[in-house]
């Protein structure tokens, strides 16, 4: 697997830091789903702990992740630490003990103690992450997925993915490839109960949605596969997003 050495080091360091509290480390996202692109994808990880970890452990872990993130793809490592009980007896929005992505590097650099104290709470996105883990996840360390993760209730998953695309009309102009393909895979779940990658979502849409947007979706799909940026006409992008949101809302009702 690409970046296997980095993944092995993340697992080894987390085992040393958390000890017996660490139940498992799970890979999800594009790398687990077979559509990873080093220029456009991040490395998505969920760490499951038994009960609690100390602020000292969190600080050691974050210092390690910041260092290892230097050798990650450009979008970096994105991770959350969650408790075993909230995976086995699913809670929504799901509590987390610590989170990190590239977007938070400066906060940690400026004030590590503040970051450790405040970077915890609940996250609706975790429902979607857990759903992907159940379908595609890779165990990097620890317990089997089905022994740790309960099924995510359909309504919670729908709310989670809806939360990710509800502002698509505005977001599509800034990140067209992600938004176009994400709208497609949300529609695929609502119509056919399929949990798909962005690539699979685009392929599904070309076969199942109106031909009106096949060219646009095909362009987004090719840009995703090639790891390239995509230029989009503002009117066409907004119209596609609005139509897809209307379709998704109709399938949710």
pLDDT digits (tens, 9 = 90+) for 93-107: 999 999 999 999 999
> Is residue 139 assigned to a domain?
yes
* Digit-coded pLDDT (tens) for 137-194: 999 999 999 999 999 999 999 999 999 999 999 999 999 999 999 999 999 999 999 9
The backbone torsions φ and ψ at residue 145, rounded to the nearest 5 degrees and listed phi first, read -60, -45
Same domain, 96 and 24: yes
Residue 159 inside a domain? The answer is: no
Q: Are residues 19 and 108 in the same domain?
A: yes
Neighbour-count burial for 178-196, b at 16+ CB within 10 Å, e otherwise:
bbbbbbbbbbbbbeeeebb
- Mean pLDDT, the chain, integer: 96
Number of domains, the chain: 2
Q: Are residues 114 and 206 in the same domain?
A: no
Using the predicted structure, report yes or no on whether residue 253 has a pLDDT greater than 90.
no
Residue 248, pLDDT > 80, answer: yes
Which pLDDT score is estimated for 76?
98
Q: What is the pLDDT of residue 29?
A: 97
Question: What per-residue confidence (pLDDT) applies to 2?
Answer: 81
**Sheet of 22-28, strand order:** 98-100, 77-83, 43-49, 22-28, 138-142
Task: Label each residue of 68-82 as H, E or C.
Answer: HHHHCCCCCEEEEEE
User: Is it the case that residue 40 has pLDDT exceeding 90?
Assistant: no
The residue-averaged pLDDT of 229-237 equals: 93
Same domain, 194 and 90: no
For the cut 90, the answer to whether the pLDDT of residue 223 exceeds it is yes
Distance CA 116, CA 97 (A): 9
- Position 39 confidence tier, pLDDT thresholds 50, 70, 90: confident
Same domain, yes or no, for 146 and 206? Answer: no
pTM of the predicted model over 0.85: yes
The CATH number of whichever domain residue 86 belongs to comes to 3.30.460.10
Question: What is the C-alpha separation between 154 and 157, in angstroms, rounded?
Answer: 5
Instruction: Count CB neighbours of 224 within 10 A.
Output: 24
């Amino acid at each position: 697997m690409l970046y296997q050495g980095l993944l092995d080091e993340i697992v080894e360091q987390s085992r040393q830091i958390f000890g017996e509290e660490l139940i498992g480390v799970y890979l999800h996202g594009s790398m687990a789903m077979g559509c990873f692109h080093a220029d456009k994808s991040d490395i998505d990880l969920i760490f499951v702990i038994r009960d609690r970890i100390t602020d000292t452990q969190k600080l050691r872990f974050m210092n390690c992740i910041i260092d290892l993130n230097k050798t990650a793809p450009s979008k970096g490592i994105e991770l959350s630490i969650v408790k075993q009980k909230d995976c086995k007896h699913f809670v929504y929005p799901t509590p987390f003990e610590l989170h990190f992505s590239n977007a938070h590097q400066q906060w940690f650099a400026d004030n590590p103690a503040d970051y450790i104290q405040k970077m915890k709470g609940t996250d609706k996105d975790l429902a979607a992450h857990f759903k992907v883990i159940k379908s595609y996840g890779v165990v990097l360390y620890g317990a089997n997925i089905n022994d740790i993760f309960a099924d995510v209730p359909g309504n919670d998953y729908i709310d989670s993915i809806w939360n990710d695309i509800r502002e698509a009309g505005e977001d599509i102009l800034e990140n067209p490839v992600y938004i176009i393909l994400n709208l497609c895979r949300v529609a695929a779940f609502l119509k056919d109960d399929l949990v798909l990658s962005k690539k699979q979502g685009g392929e599904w849409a070309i076969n199942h949605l109106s031909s009106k947007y096949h060219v646009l979706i095909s362009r987004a799909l090719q840009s995703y596969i090639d790891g390239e940026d995509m230029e989009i006409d503002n009117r066409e992008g907004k119209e596609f997003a609005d139509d897809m949101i209307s379709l998704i809302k109709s399938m949710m009702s």
